Amino acid sequence: MVNMIYSISYRENIVGNRDTNDLVFNIREDLQFFKEMTIGTTMIMGRKTFESLPTGGLPKRKHVIVSNKIKTIEDAKEILGEKYIENLTFINLENLEGYIKEESKVNDISVIGGAMLYSYFLEDKNLFDLVSNIYATEVERIPDIKNPVKLMGHGSLKEKCSFEVVKIGQGKDRLDNNNLVNYKVVRYFKGNI
């Protein structure tokens, strides 16, 4: 099974902050959902997303970095610096589809970002066809970010997929002075419920 998972300010399609490479929301319940969905999976991410993780990566998950710049362990050590950890897997975009086909035979896969990687999956038919579910935490708050990263392909998911609301909630956003924000987790999938 291949799942994409992200949180988004759905009114503006904002998924990140280009200046800081940070999340745009920090809602405990959403982070707990992310943990539950990704534990024990092979997480596929871009280099900048990996660099935004805590040093040492996330426990009980396999880390796969999609990068055309990292070709060897030496490249990884140089580019990632103190973020480098043992047992990382590196693939380039050209090999991504083949890697997913093979890896998904033995492990569930979680595609966790960033926006460029999500866009590849939403725009490339072959990659999109590999995705079983897209779990989007759609947050009502529009973050005040000078240089937002947008995921424009999110807006067309309701036309391309079936969907169901998995959860409706409210949580404190630690990036917005702990103000309560409304959110819903929507599962997008191909086919019928």
User: What is the pLDDT averaged over residues 149-167?
Assistant: 92
Residue 64 confidence (pLDDT) above 90 = yes
CA angle 41, 130, 96 (to 5 degrees): 75
Residue 151 confidence (pLDDT) above 50 = yes
Work out the pLDDT band at 193, boundaries 50, 70, 90: very low
CA distance 1 to 104: 6
pLDDT tens digits along 97-135: 999 999 999 999 999 999 999 999 999 999 999 999 999
What pLDDT score does 144 carry? 85
Q: Global pTM?
A: 0.92
What pLDDT score does 170 carry? 93
What pLDDT score does 15 carry? 92
The CATH architecture of the domain made up of 2-189 is: 3-Layer(aba) Sandwich (3.40)
CA distance 147 to 161: 29
What pLDDT score does 91 carry? 93
What pLDDT score does 174 carry? 87
User: What is the pLDDT averaged over residues 162-180?
Assistant: 91
Residue 43 confidence (pLDDT) above 90 = yes
User: What is the pLDDT averaged over residues 16-38?
Assistant: 90
CA distance 48 to 149: 13
What pLDDT score does 192 carry? 54
